Structure 1
Amino acid sequence: MRTPGIFIFGLVLAPCGWILELTSTVAPAWRTINNIPGEPSDLVLQQGLWDICRTFTSSRDILCNQQDTQYFSAQIIQIARGLMLSSLILNVIAIGVAAVGVRCWTEKPLWTVAGVGGLLIFISGVLTIIPVAWYTHTMTSIFSASTDVRVGYCLVLGFIGGIMEVLGGLVMSIGLCRRCSGQKRDPSPPRRDTVPSVSSGSSVPYYSKQSEVDFARAKRQQDSRPATSTAYEARPYDTDL
């Protein structure tokens, strides 16, 4: 049996969203700070969930592992770390469950198992969108050395990855709806085909094989007999004399 299109759609979007989500989690570019007072004008400070890097636009030099206690102690940073890690782990488990449910090498997929995998993928995408949206909303209120705060590319990747997981999981969850509707549906009675019976009063004659053989044999015997003449011999009778 060919794999349903909803499962193919979900199994393609889920790994792609996981890769984008992983990049968004480990890369230090959730926000960028420019025009820092007392620093070179070409300095750009990139801040992420786990690291802070100093980059220079003129020389392309990057210095990471920068310390900023006030930034990392913010509540949103701690919550975002936990939610992003939970989303990554849950997405891996969900892809494994969905792959077992699809099982292209069997005659029919396991709709319930694949639907549960899609539901887990959907939850993983929601766990990604929540911290990304929250960080974007409170980005300017987090402590920074400058007022020139801009959105980093990690937030964009996080949004795209989360939306891909939500869409893929939502489509695969249709398997649960199909399973539930299949259980509620009453089984249709077996179809009975009426076979016409031959009654004794039928006007259609019935010929057996033996009857055909006897008829052909009798016809051959009749054809082999000598032909009898219908003419009669003229004999004299007393009345003619």
Structure 2
Amino acid sequence: MRTPGIFIFGMVLAPCGWVLELTSTVAPAWRTINNIPGEPSDLVLQQGLWDICRTSTSSRDIQCNQQDTQYFSAQIIQIARALMLSSLILNLIGIGVASAGVRCWTDKPHWTVAGVGGLLIFISGVLTIIPVSWYTHIMNSIFSTSTDVRVGYCLVLGFIGGIMEVLGGLVMSLGLCRRCGGQKRVPSPARVDAVPSVSSVSSVPYYSKQSEMDFTRAKRQQDSRPATSTSTARPCDTDL
């Protein structure tokens, strides 16, 4: 049996979303800060969840492991770390469960198992979109040494990865609906075609070749029998 298209769709989007989500989690580019007072005009400060890097537009030198206690102590940073890590782990579990349910090397897939895996992938995508959206909304209110704050590429990757996981998990979750619908479905009785009666079709008797031979054979046997009298002769009075 071919693997259903909804499982193929989900099993392609889920790993792609996980890779984008992993990049968004570890890369230090959730936001960039430009035009920092007292610093060169080409200096760019890249801030992420785990690290902060200094770079410039005129050179390729990057200096990471920069310290910023006020930035890392923000509530959104702590919450985003926990949600992103939970999403990564949950997505891996969902992919493993969905892979065991799809099992394209067997005759029929396990719709319930694959649907549960899709549901886990869907939840992992939601856990990714929540911190990314929240961080984007309050990005300018987080402590910064400059007012020129811009969106980093990690937020874009996080949005795309979360949406891919949500779509893939949602499509695979349809297997649960199909499973529930299949259990409630009542099998229709087998259709039996009515056999028309010979008498209802035509009033003319039907003789087959076999019946004609049987009739001829019976007649010959009857003619070959010796004739016997059905009555016994009784003497008359005149004979006495």
Tell me the TM-score normalized by structure 1.
0.83
Matched, 1:123 2:109: no
Residues 81-110 of structure 1, C-alpha deviations (whole Å, 9 max, x = no match):
000000000001101111111111111111
Residues 46-98 of structure 1, C-alpha deviations (whole Å, 9 max, x = no match):
00000000001111110001111111010000000000000000001101111
Q: Which residue of 2 aligns with 1:24?
A: 24
Residues 136-171 of structure 1, C-alpha deviations (whole Å, 9 max, x = no match):
011111111111100000000000000011111111
- The DSSP-based 3-state class of the residue aligned with 1:173 is helix
Q: Which residue of 2 aligns with 1:3?
A: 3
State the AA in 2 paired with 1:110.
H
- The DSSP-based 3-state class of the residue aligned with 2:65 is coil
Structure 2 runs not aligned, ≥5 long: 218-240
- Alignment partner of 1:207 out of 197, 206, 209: 209
Distance 1:108 1:205 in 2: 53
State the AA in 1 paired with 2:83.
L
- The DSSP-based 3-state class of the residue aligned with 1:38 is coil
Distance 2:19 2:208 in 1: 77
State the AA in 2 paired with 1:131.
P
Q: Which residue of 2 aligns with 1:161?
A: 161
Matched, 1:108 2:144: no
> How has the CA–CA distance of structure 1 residues 142 and 94 changed in structure 2, closer, same or farther, with 3 Å as cutoff?
same
Q: Which residue of 1 aligns with 2:229?
A: none
Count the aligned residue pairs. Answer: 213
Report how far residue 208 of structure 1 moved: 4.2
Larger mean Cα displacement after TM superposition, 186-195 or 140-149: 186-195
Q: Which residue of 2 aligns with 1:239?
A: none
Q: Which residue of 1 aligns with 2:92?
A: 92
Distance 2:128 2:53 in 1: 23
Distance 2:96 2:197 in 1: 58
Report how far residue 206 of structure 1 moved: 2.9
State the AA in 1 paired with 2:42.
D
State the AA in 2 paired with 1:207.
K
Report how far residue 207 of structure 1 moved: 3.2
Distance 1:99 1:128 in 2: 22
Distance 1:118 1:68 in 2: 39
State the AA in 1 paired with 2:47.
Q
The 5 Å alignment of 1:23-172 reads 23-172=23-172
Distance 2:113 2:93 in 1: 12
After TM superposition, where is structure 1 displaced by more than 2 Å over at least 4 residues in a row? 190-199, 201-209
- The DSSP-based 3-state class of the residue aligned with 1:190 is coil
Report how far residue 132 of structure 1 moved: 0.1
Report how far residue 191 of structure 1 moved: 3.0
Structure 1 runs not aligned, ≥5 long: 216-241
Distance 1:202 1:112 in 2: 61
- The DSSP-based 3-state class of the residue aligned with 1:60 is strand
- The DSSP-based 3-state class of the residue aligned with 2:46 is strand
Report how far residue 204 of structure 1 moved: 2.6
Distance 1:33 1:202 in 2: 102
Distance 2:204 2:48 in 1: 92
- The DSSP-based 3-state class of the residue aligned with 2:37 is coil
Larger mean Cα displacement after TM superposition, 169-178 or 187-196: 187-196
Distance 1:142 1:203 in 2: 101
